[in-house]
Amino acid sequence: MTAPTHDWTIDQDWSAYTDAEHQVWTTLYDRQARLLPGRACDAFLDGLDKLNLHQGGIPDFARLNEDLGQLTGWSIVAVPGLVPDAVFFDHLAHRRFPAGRFIREAHQLDYLQEPDVFHDVFGHAPMLAEPVFADYMQAYGEGGLRAGRFAQLHHLARLYWHTVEFGLLETPAGLRIYGAGIVSSKKETLFSLEDPAPHRLGFNLERLMRTPYRIDDLQPTYFVIPSLDALLGATLQDFAPLYDRLADSTDIPIGVVLADDPKFAANRRELDGGESTSELSSRILTIEEDSNP
């Protein structure tokens, strides 16, 4: 059953993965699992825990879907690569997340042009196990089918990009990641939270939809939501009037900050034990001094 069907799904063909492919999963999993406590939001970490994505290599979607289905009614379906927008939205509207089944090669751990099974499953599945986010993703799919009729897909796609893929969440303990594009990347995990370079701006639906994104590099700007409930709440309104306004609006280039944008500072870089930056830098200093002849 590997021939594409009308909805573009294919069999995952789990038994065809090689040991080397499973090993790539395990390497990436271990690397991110070490990095994410204190950086990914609780919903992501809880979902990761509940889905048992660390059972010896690339998860078997059939096994994963038993857990995910029980939690929120979502399932992961395998597709050959990027699928047409309408097919993608239809899957989301029915609580199916289309995932690539191939995995990057061992020499490409940090770079890939197309989403693979690590990005799609490690990055996206944990948040789909969270009830509010699960509803948001379904609503997004329904909204996508609708936006096509308004010729507003480019604006809606920005919402996906700046939330589902690259979103940050404000918490009392500091900024946390929920975006799949960040949690599945070591480099962007550190950059998005702790590097002084990027802008971290408060979430504003219309402003965000006026902001294009980069697909070829780290994001110069991240949008910070106050809560998952706030994200879902902001998107439950009818987008028709918003689309009308957007049709007459200009884009705000990705690196630009407006005077009334709420801004968030980078998190301080922390070690496992939660040491502050100053403790960390004094430790580095100590090591340097010790190593002096």
Residues near ligand PHE, by CB under 6 A: 139-140, 143, 146, 159, 235-239
Which residue, 180 or 208, has its beta carbon nearer to Fe ion?
Answer: 180
Q: Where are the beta strands (DSSP E) in the chain?
A: 75-79, 96-100, 168-171, 174-177, 199-202, 221-225
Q: Which amino acid is at 53?
A: L
Distance (Å, whole) CA 241 – CA 203: 19
To ligand PHE, the closest distance from the beta carbon of 152 in angstroms equals 9
To ligand PHE, the closest distance from the beta carbon of 136 in angstroms equals 6
Which residue, 53 or 93, has its beta carbon nearer to ligand PHE?
Answer: 93
> Where does 36-178 have alpha helices with state H?
42-51, 61-72, 85-93, 117, 124-128, 131-150, 153-160
- Whose CB is nearest to ligand PHE? 143
88 binds, among Fe ion, ligand PHE, none (CB under 5 to 8 A by kind): none
Number of shown-chain residues binding Fe ion (CB under 5 A): 1
8 Å CB contact between 166 and 230 = no
Contact segment (CB under 5 A) with Fe ion among 43-51, 56-64, 176-184, 268-276 equals 176-184
25 binds, among ligand PHE, Fe ion, none (CB under 5 to 8 A by kind): none
| Residue listed under structure tokens 């504003």 | 204
Cα torsion angle, 71, 77, 81, 83, sign: negative
Q: How far from each other are the two terminal CA atoms of the chain, in whole angstroms?
A: 66
In eight-state DSSP terms, residue 59 is P
To Fe ion, the closest distance from the beta carbon of 124 in angstroms equals 6
139 binds, among ligand PHE, Fe ion, none (CB under 5 to 8 A by kind): ligand PHE
Distance (Å, whole) CA 229 – CA 225: 9
Which residue, 180 or 183, has its beta carbon nearer to Fe ion?
Answer: 180
180 binds, among Fe ion, ligand PHE, none (CB under 5 to 8 A by kind): Fe ion
To Fe ion, the closest distance from the beta carbon of 181 in angstroms equals 6
Torsion of the alpha carbons at 160, 138, 33 and 70, rounded to the nearest 10? 180
| Residue listed under structure tokens 């580095």 | 284
To Fe ion, the closest distance from the beta carbon of 275 in angstroms equals 32
Q: In the chain, how long is the greatest CA-to-CA distance?
A: 71
Distance (Å, whole) CA 182 – CA 63: 25
8 Å CB contact between 117 and 99 = yes
To ligand PHE, the closest distance from the beta carbon of 247 in angstroms equals 14
Task: Verify binding: residue 159, Fe ion, rule CB under 5 A.
Answer: no
8 Å CB contact between 225 and 191 = no
Which residue, 61 or 239, has its beta carbon nearer to ligand PHE?
Answer: 239
To Fe ion, the closest distance from the beta carbon of 119 in angstroms equals 6
133 binds, among ligand PHE, Fe ion, none (CB under 5 to 8 A by kind): none
146 binds, among Fe ion, ligand PHE, none (CB under 5 to 8 A by kind): ligand PHE
Binding-site member from 93, 159, 168, 180 for Fe ion (CB under 5 A): 180
Interacting residue ranges for Fe ion, rule: CB under 5 A: 180
